[in-house]
Amino acid sequence: MKKMAFILSVIFVALLVWRFGFTDYFKTTQAPDGRWKVYEKQADQLSKRSPTAEEEHFLGSMADDKAAQPERRPASIPTKSPEETFEKRKIVGTLNRQSLDLRPLNEPSADWEQSLAEEMMKFQSPETKLFIKHDEQIVLASEKLYRYVEEVTLTYQKEDGEITSFKAWIDSENGQLLNTWSRTIVHNFRKPAQKYRPSNL
């Protein structure tokens, strides 16, 4: 009986360590998987799921495509040097690793993507879908200060089928938008541009 109780206690403690120790460790340093996630509004809640086969084909699996291609280049063109990393994150900027004052401006959180999705869907209609692809983990560094940042690709699909995408840097702690670039250029041929009339006219 005592032996059984001891074994159960060990198992219980081990589970606790797993749940609040290793699991959290892996969550906060989860590497980008190159897969899209889909966020939709359902009854005022934001739901997350993997794309359907149809959506997957629509978005394309660029990670898979890259892996499928053999590496080929002319012999005369030298290969690029490997990028510097810090905590398995690509360094953007200059990081003085020898500095004793090396300190981060934020701490990565497992919830950054959920926070981002909530913010980016806040003003969207219920029929709009948001696709998020986690592209890269980055450390934005300036000598002894650094910030954990996630690089993502965001794609919106509106009810009328219109697609817009852009890339963004996101704060790894609170999921806030830091910068955007590479925005879609859309040509709508029959649809007139939205116009605004001032309230004081």
Q: Site residues for other proteins, window 15-74 (CB under 8 A)?
A: 53-54, 57-60, 62, 65-66, 69-74
* Distance between CA atoms of residues 198 and 130, nearest Å: 30
Pick 29 or 156: Cβ nearer other proteins? 156
- The closest alpha carbon to 133, from 35, 60, 8, belongs to 35
- The closest alpha carbon to 121, from 154, 77, 75, 145, belongs to 154
Which residue from 2, 45, 100, 160 is in contact with other proteins, where contact means CB under 8 A? 160
* Distance between CA atoms of residues 24 and 194, nearest Å: 46
Residue 5 binds other proteins (CB under 8 A): no
Determine the interface stretch with other proteins among 4-12, 14-22, 106-114, 137-145 (rule: CB under 8 A).
137-145
Which residue from 2, 3, 88, 195 is in contact with other proteins, where contact means CB under 8 A? 195
Pick 23 or 52: Cβ nearer other proteins? 52
Please report how close the Cβ of residue 23 comes to other proteins at its closest, in angstroms.
Answer: 28
Tokens of 79: 């290969």
Name 147's bridge partners: 140
* Distance between CA atoms of residues 46 and 13, nearest Å: 34
Determine the interface stretch with other proteins among 7-15, 20-28, 106-114, 151-159 (rule: CB under 8 A).
151-159
CB atoms within 10 A of CB 135: 16
Which residue from 78, 98, 100, 103 is in contact with other proteins, where contact means CB under 8 A? 78
Residue 97 binds other proteins (CB under 8 A): no
* Distance between CA atoms of residues 149 and 64, nearest Å: 24
Residue 83 binds other proteins (CB under 8 A): yes
